[in-house]
């Protein structure tokens, strides 16, 4: 039986709530589940407002727009990330500047950020500009990577330099700091995703959350074609059709009810991996910062090719022959052909994480037997007996 990397877990009120939508005819982008989902996410993340969208990428696009990022400005974002935030920056005509990850927790490196802002940027006409390109720094868009909250020093540094912070918390719903604050609650606006591979899913969906009433209502307007009159088709500006449907929001409400049990399952899986794998020479499991409560959305290890005797891709292929699905981390965005020519700041850690990183099976529903199979396959003795095996 194959073991998947990560599959959705549907075991709560999903069927009931969706049936309710179908029975009442409220299937489209208006309906009580959209309101319920937005209120529940706002409450959960400690934000005053939330606006649901068709996906997390659309939420990022809207967040950049309401935060007022302008064409030809620059937005500092994480090099170690899924590509969505960099693409969203381009949607508003701005340019990404890729910042490296810290070597311990793999989040945007606060020291490198501070050094970039103080050495490579300068104020002109009251606004921070990149000295090399002459462009204004419009915002910073750090990513909470792999379910672990990003270092809050990023927020402090951004504030010290007067920068708006858009948090990409798409992978980190439910993650928090040791003082109880949720990932996605400490910047100016935050985005979440409910794509099929996220901790909770609506099949496809997203949300943005903020305390700023004007931003929330502008986002609500922009996601519904900026219609300014409830009856007449009058539109004050070019809008988007980005609203989540009621059926999918119903799925989201049901999934959100189970979030804490999902996080508990993920953390249990992570603890078992950490305890068993950290004794294997050359395998370094991801680490939770002392100030963090991670959801361990995607459990990842670094493989030292020399010490372990196999590099991350060889290990990936051998596990595949054992019907175990794993995945490397994302190509660092400063190396992405889609963003060729963009700037980056000393992204050597990102490149090492890409070379050595491998995410292991960690579905919420992963059984103990399945996890034991993964752990056994990583055992150095099993490795040497299977190394170089045929496909």
Using CB under 6 A, list all residues that contact ligand PLP.
Answer: 55-57, 81-82, 84-85, 143, 168, 170-171, 193, 195, 206
What distance separates the 2 farthest-apart alpha carbons in the chain? 72
For ligand PLP, the closer of residues 223 and 371 by Cβ is 223
Minimum distance from residue 350 beta carbon to ligand PLP (Å): 14
User: CB 6 → ligand PLP: shortest distance, Å?
Assistant: 12
Q: Which is nearer to ligand PLP, 107 or 157 (CB)?
A: 107
Q: How far is the CB of 229 from ligand PLP (least distance, A)?
A: 30
Handedness of CA 84, 87, 92, 95 (dihedral sign): positive
CA distance 391 to 387: 11
Give least dist CB 265 to ligand PLP, A.
20
In the complex with ligand PLP, which residue's Cβ is closer, 171 or 310?
171
Cα 179–Cα 184–Cα 190 angle in degrees, nearest 5: 160
Q: Minimum CB separation from ligand PLP for residue 98, in Å?
A: 13
**Chain center to CA of 145:** 6
Count CB neighbours of 217 within 10 A. Answer: 13
* Cα separation, 152 vs 295, whole angstroms: 17
Select 193 or 370, whichever has its Cβ closest to ligand PLP: 193
The closest alpha carbon to 166, from 150, 190, 193, 148, belongs to 190
Give the shortest CB-69-to-ligand PLP separation in angstroms.
Answer: 16
Residue nearest to ligand PLP (CB): 56
Comparison of 102 and 310: residue with beta carbon closer to ligand PLP = 102
Residue 166 CA: distances (Å) to CA of 63, 86, 103, 144, 331: 7, 12, 23, 11, 22
Shorter beta-carbon distance to ligand PLP: residue 168 or 310: 168
Q: Which is nearer to ligand PLP, 85 or 252 (CB)?
A: 85
- Least distance to ligand PLP from the beta carbon of 308, Å? 27
Question: Per-residue b/e over 133-164, b at no fewer than 16 CB within 10 Å?
Answer: eebbbbbbbbbbbbbbbbbbbbbebbeebebb
């Amino acid at each position: 039986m194959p073991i998947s990397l990560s599959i959705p877990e549907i075991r709560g009120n999903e069927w009931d709530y969706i049936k309710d939508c179908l029975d009442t005819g409220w299937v489209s982008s208006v309906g009580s589940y959209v309101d319920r989902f937005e209120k529940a996410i706002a409450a959960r993340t400690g934000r005053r407002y939330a606006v649901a969208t068709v996906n997390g990428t659309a939420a990022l696009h809207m967040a950049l727009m309401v935060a007022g990022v302008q064409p030809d400005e620059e937005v500092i974002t994480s090099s170690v990330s899924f590509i969505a935030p960099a693409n969203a920056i381009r949607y508003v005509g701005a340019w990404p500047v890729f910042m490296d990850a810290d070597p311990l927790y793999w989040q945007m490196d606060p020291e490198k950020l501070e050094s970039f802002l103080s050495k490579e940027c300068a104020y002109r006409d009251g606004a921070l500009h990149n000295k090399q390109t002459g462009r204004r720094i419009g915002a910073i868009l750090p990513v909470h990577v792999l379910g672990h909250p990003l270092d809050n020093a990023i927020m402090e540094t951004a504030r010290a330099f007067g920068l708006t912070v858009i948090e990409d918390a798409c992978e980190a719903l439910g993650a928090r700091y040791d003082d109880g604050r949720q990932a996605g609650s400490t910047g100016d606006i935050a985005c979440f995703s409910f794509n099929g591979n996220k901790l909770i899913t609506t099949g496809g969906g997203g949300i943005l959350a903020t305390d700023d009433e004007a931003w929330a209502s502008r986002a609500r307007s922009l996601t519904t074609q900026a219609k300014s009159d409830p009856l007449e088709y009058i539109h004050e500006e070019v809008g988007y059709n980005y609203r989540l449907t009621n059926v999918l929001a119903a799925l989201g409400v049901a999934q959100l009810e189970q979030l804490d049990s999902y996080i508990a399952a993920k953390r249990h899986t992570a603890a078992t991996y950490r305890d068993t794998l950290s004794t294997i020479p050359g395998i370094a499991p991801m680490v939770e910062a002392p100030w963090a409560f991670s959801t361990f959305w995607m459990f990842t290890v670094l493989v030292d090719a020399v010490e372990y005797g196999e590099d991350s891709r060889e290990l990936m292929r051998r596990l595949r022959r054992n019907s175990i699905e794993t995945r490397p981390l994302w190509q660092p965005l400063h190396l992405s052909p889609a963003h060729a020519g963009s700037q980056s700041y000393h992204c050597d850690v990102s490149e090492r994480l890409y070379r050595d990183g491998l995410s292991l099976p960690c579905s919420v529903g992963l059984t103990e037997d399945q996890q034991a199979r993964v752990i056994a396959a990583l055992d150095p003795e099993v490795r040497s007996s299977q190394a170089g095996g045929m496909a």
